[in-house]
Amino acid sequence: MGVSGGVGAGPGAGARVGGGPGPGAGTGAGANLLALRSHNTALVLDLLRGAGAGGISRLELAERTGLTPQAVSKITARLRAQGLAAEAGRRASTGGKPRTVLRLVPGAGHAIGVHVDRDEVRAVLADLNGTVVGERCGPLDAAGPGVGAQAVVEAVARQVEGLVPPVAESLLGVGVALPGPLDHRGGVLRRVTGFPEWEGFPLRDTLARRLGVPVVVDKDTNAAALGLAVARGDDDGGGGGGAGSFAYLHVGTGIGAGLVIGGGVHRGARTGAGEFGHQVIQLDGPPCECGDRGCVEALCLAAVARGETEEAARVLGAGAANLVGLLDIELVLLGGRTVAAAPDVFVAGVSAVLAARAHREGLPAGAVPVRLAPGGERAVAEGAAQLLLAPVFGRGEGREGLRAGRGTAERGLPAGRGGG
């Protein structure tokens, strides 16, 4: 996982989206962020972000990262020189002279997150805090079966080129989220139900060449899960590991899952994890678009089509119960258009199945809670922006990705596990 294995840099990798400076001009903060390639810098940046406008002192940074004060001073001096950190005033300290506190400069870096849905393309421009500062949405032309991959490229480019950050050089890159399955590491699409023309298309490299900035491609469910993991980590006070282990179940025109295990998005050995919808729960059941029979997706969506939402929720609950039993996760979040049409019915229906299972098993902690995923229709696009932003702060990599002093200080901007 991570940018080291997932980024396709365009020629020169200089930000030139929207007619900005040409290749080679990428000397702004965005390019610098991608070039930092330091785990310790990610730790410092994450604490700076978590501290907000109030800032944090170098001494606190040293205490919380486990780095030496000298190392922290070196990192913060570089971040200030690059415009990524700034003084946020002085704070009285016990006994000594007042300490200078530092804060992140959110506008020093941006990422664009794009959600390619089956009939529309939504793009957001987010700053380093993940705050959305611009948004565009347009149709995916000639929607439905028959949409060629090149049409996706054009639709994405149209929205991206309309979202120019205040300083073009601050753009880290573009994250694109779309229905799976796909190869996250290579940025290549696989056989997506309903879009046979997409199979084998090198979307990441094609877009990187077209846009001239780094591009990361991931499944919509993984992007949403990453965005949720970052938000949950923030709620936990930052510092990583707070996101826990949860599943994001997406029910739209298809059904998929994004899995977060130990704070990190679990993509699996071939980045194909989370194909939740095509688990068979009824042998010899009704045919599914995937070619099998009795899949959760076929049964659930058929119930939705019949107007039997409670039955659809019960089917989804059966699949969720399998997932909870397999992975021992602590939370199930539901999202997607179909859920949004009847959120209470889906939350109650899935909860009931999980509660019945927990009761049968006599689990002391009770059933795993089920909640509506926050973020609404923008959740996937915001998560797609985090494909670029989260690695800068060492987020979305799990607990092991966020420890200082493990002898991996310069192992790369994101976790280097993704190979590449």
Q: Does 303 bind Zn ion (CB under 5 A)?
A: no
Stretch that binds Zn ion, among 48-56, 84-92, 199-207, 290-298 (CB under 5 A): 290-298
- Nearer to Zn ion (CB atom), residue 216 or residue 323: 323
Nearest-angstrom CA–CA distance, 7 and 186: 9
- Nearer to Zn ion (CB atom), residue 292 or residue 311: 292
> How far is CA 404 from its chain centroid?
23
Size, binding site for Zn ion by CB under 5 A: 5
Stretch that binds Zn ion, among 53-61, 87-95, 245-253, 284-292 (CB under 5 A): 284-292
- Nearer to Zn ion (CB atom), residue 290 or residue 327: 290
Tell me the closest approach of the beta carbon of residue 305 to Zn ion, in angstroms: 15
Nearest-angstrom CA–CA distance, 221 and 248: 7
Instruction: For residue 270, give both structure tokens.
Output: 């071939």
How far CA 362 is from CA of 356, 365, 366, in Å, comes to 10, 9, 8
- Nearer to Zn ion (CB atom), residue 118 or residue 122: 118
Q: Does 295 bind Zn ion (CB under 5 A)?
A: yes
Residue with tokens 């009939």: 119
Tell me the closest approach of the beta carbon of residue 255 to Zn ion, in angstroms: 9
Annotate each residue in 347-376 with x if it binds Zn ion (CB under 5 A) or - if it does not, as one string: ------------------------------
- CA-based nearest residue to 136, from 124, 151, 118: 124
Q: Give just the sign of the alpha carbon dihedral 111, 37, 404, 330.
A: positive
SS3 assignment, position 251:
strand
Decide: 346 and 249 in contact? Cβ < 8 Å: no
Tell me the closest approach of the beta carbon of residue 281 to Zn ion, in angstroms: 10
Tell me the closest approach of the beta carbon of residue 360 to Zn ion, in angstroms: 27
Stretch that binds Zn ion, among 21-29, 94-102, 229-237, 270-278 (CB under 5 A): 270-278
Q: Does 285 bind Zn ion (CB under 5 A)?
A: no
- Nearer to Zn ion (CB atom), residue 49 or residue 278: 278
In the DSSP assignment, the letter for residue 178 is: E
Residue type, 310: E
Q: Does 292 bind Zn ion (CB under 5 A)?
A: yes
- Nearer to Zn ion (CB atom), residue 120 or residue 292: 292
- Nearer to Zn ion (CB atom), residue 136 or residue 278: 278
Nearest-angstrom CA–CA distance, 322 and 275: 13
Decide: 176 and 203 in contact? Cβ < 8 Å: yes
Stretch that binds Zn ion, among 192-200, 242-250, 274-282, 351-359 (CB under 5 A): 274-282
Tell me the longest C-alpha to C-alpha distance in the chain: 76
Q: Does 278 bind Zn ion (CB under 5 A)?
A: yes
Stretch that binds Zn ion, among 23-31, 184-192, 281-289, 331-339 (CB under 5 A): 281-289
Tell me the closest approach of the beta carbon of residue 306 to Zn ion, in angstroms: 18
- CA-based nearest residue to 174, from 218, 141, 138, 239: 218
Tell me the closest approach of the beta carbon of residue 298 to Zn ion, in angstroms: 6
Residue with tokens 């795993």: 368
> How far is CA 364 from its chain centroid?
32
Q: Which of 79, 156, 288, 347 binds Zn ion (CB under 5 A)?
A: 288
* Cis preceding linkage at 181, omega within 30: yes
Stretch that binds Zn ion, among 280-288, 376-384, 390-398, 404-412 (CB under 5 A): 280-288
SS3 assignment, position 126:
strand
> What are the φ and ψ backbone dihedral angles of 289, each rounded to 5 degrees?
-60, -20
Q: Does 290 bind Zn ion (CB under 5 A)?
A: yes
Tell me the closest approach of the beta carbon of residue 276 to Zn ion, in angstroms: 10
Decide: 371 and 347 in contact? Cβ < 8 Å: yes
- Nearer to Zn ion (CB atom), residue 188 or residue 295: 295
Interface contacts to Zn ion, rule CB under 5 A: 278, 288, 290, 292, 295
